[in-house]
Structure 1
Amino acid sequence: MRRYSCRDRGRPAVMSIRVIAAVIRRDGAFLLGRRPTNKRHGGMWEFPGGKVKPGEKPETTARRELTEELELDVT
């Protein structure tokens, strides 16, 4: 495995970001969202999800992201 260093750019060598993706399947079909064309990777399909806020539980993140991205009320 090759390691890369970012020290010369003033950043830590390893950066960790917690994310969550909701994989929802019903009747053999998966729920996907399409990224906005004006965003990074625009037009590509993805599972709904996003970054976990500090102190936030993964379940809370999933509910929040489903509401924000797809306007779904998850109980």
Structure 2
Amino acid sequence: MKAIKDNKSYTVNTDEEAKTYVSRGYDIQDDNGEIKEYGLGKKISVDDYNTLKKENSKLKAENKKLKENIKSDTKE
């Protein structure tokens, strides 16, 4: 595993060590390069938040509609 933040990268050998790096804001990557855990203290922009919030609302409405369609199909 690796702990990565900004332009720094450290090799991590144990889960306890990984927890320490996460608490310092480092992301933990597995040996395949995929993010295993995000570091604490991450921030996103207001624009990104609003975009995700809007998409979430849209997907919830679509999910509700699909569930209603499934219920009506199973009753017939």
TM-score, normalised by the number of residues in structure 2: 0.26
Q: Which has the larger radius of gyration?
A: 2
TM-score (norm 1): 0.26
Q: Which has the higher contact order (CA 8 A, sep 6+)?
A: 1
More helix by share: 2
